[in-house]
Structure 1
Amino acid sequence: MRTAGGATAAVAASAGATGTAAAQEEQPDWPSGVTGGNLGEYMDARGESEVTVEVGAGDSGLAFNPTQLWVDTGTTITFEWTGSGGAHNVVTVEGEAELDSGDPVDEEGYTYEYEVAEEDAGITHYHCVPHDAVGMHAGIAVGEDVPTVETGGGSNGWPENIAHVGIPIHAHWVGIAAMLGIAVTFVFTFYMLKYGESAHTGHGGNQ
């Protein structure tokens, strides 16, 4: 009982620690136009000099992937067309980065590069003009000085203090429950041995 309980507590503690770490993760505070975009994948690419965003991602080809991207200044973002979902383009809705890939294109492998500059610091919301109404929106966060929010808090149901997990059961209650189970087993066995046979067993053909 002690070994099993210890193992369970260790697993619970690990899960609780994971939950705490998730609660402390920070992401940019994306505007609603970005969070409402199709696909919804997030990438923290800070520290990377180059990153690629798929244009025409997802099952229907009507999304950017990643949809939410956090980068440093100086990063080169390459928007690469998948060829799915029709003709797309990349145009800023609001924010500091001036994204504009031009006319919509449906050619697979077509690319548009944007090098992030210091004046792009902040959060930029962009979209595909032909598919604005169907949710083809995304966002780029640039630099460290952006508003952030904590994400993942409470999503797994584990409290930060592992002592609050479950209901404590004292050892004597466990012993009483075990003894009661043994007693019930004996009573059931005795009953089956004494009364378990059919009422007609042993009476031969007289019935």
Structure 2
Amino acid sequence: MTHTPWILALTGGIGSGKSAAAERFMAHGIEVVDADHASRWVVEPGQPALTQLVAHFGERVLNAEGTLNRAVLRELIFADPDERQWVEALLHPLIGAEIEARLARATSPYAIYMAPLVVETGNRRGARRVLVVDVPSELQVQRTLARDGTSEAQVRAILQAQASREQRLAWADDVIVNDRDLAWLHAEVDRLHSFYLTLPGAPA
């Protein structure tokens, strides 16, 4: 009988340290499927979604080499909720299919579905547990500014669009409070990984 890994949803707001946590899980051999990566795969040149985005918004959403200009698209959809809904309706089913195909191919004891919007969309993708990387909002702003070089206003707009800490924590089965250094984050991931290995696999 083939082993089917159970799925852990890993989430947290912008600048919370999800990626650093995911990298530590990957160091333990756990397969991670990142919704942000999936959202890039479905809009690569040659993919139908990119063609539809250009038909809708025009060439302004393309970089010179023909790839999607995410910064321009982000500005267009943050400025207009109707446009955001249109883009989400186009991309979300495609992204979902990509994520589920990759999770289905995972061979580690459990697999991680990493996404910033698990709580907002209400879609756990069959995850048995939800792990929230939690961080105080001011620290989120500081980290995101340091990493992305975006404006503070844009970071705060993204925070407003995401679930609140309280909403996210209400969904959590497990929480890492990532307000210390990387060594602390790694230790917390290691502790949870040991626990997750004791959980039985998904039902066949």
TM-score range, shorter chain: under 0.3
The TM-score, its normalising length taken from structure 1, stands at 0.24
| Greater RCO, 1 or 2 (C-alpha within 8 Å, sep 6+) | 2
Report which of the two structures shows the higher radius of gyration computed on alpha carbons: 1
TM-score by length of 2: 0.24
More helix by share: 2
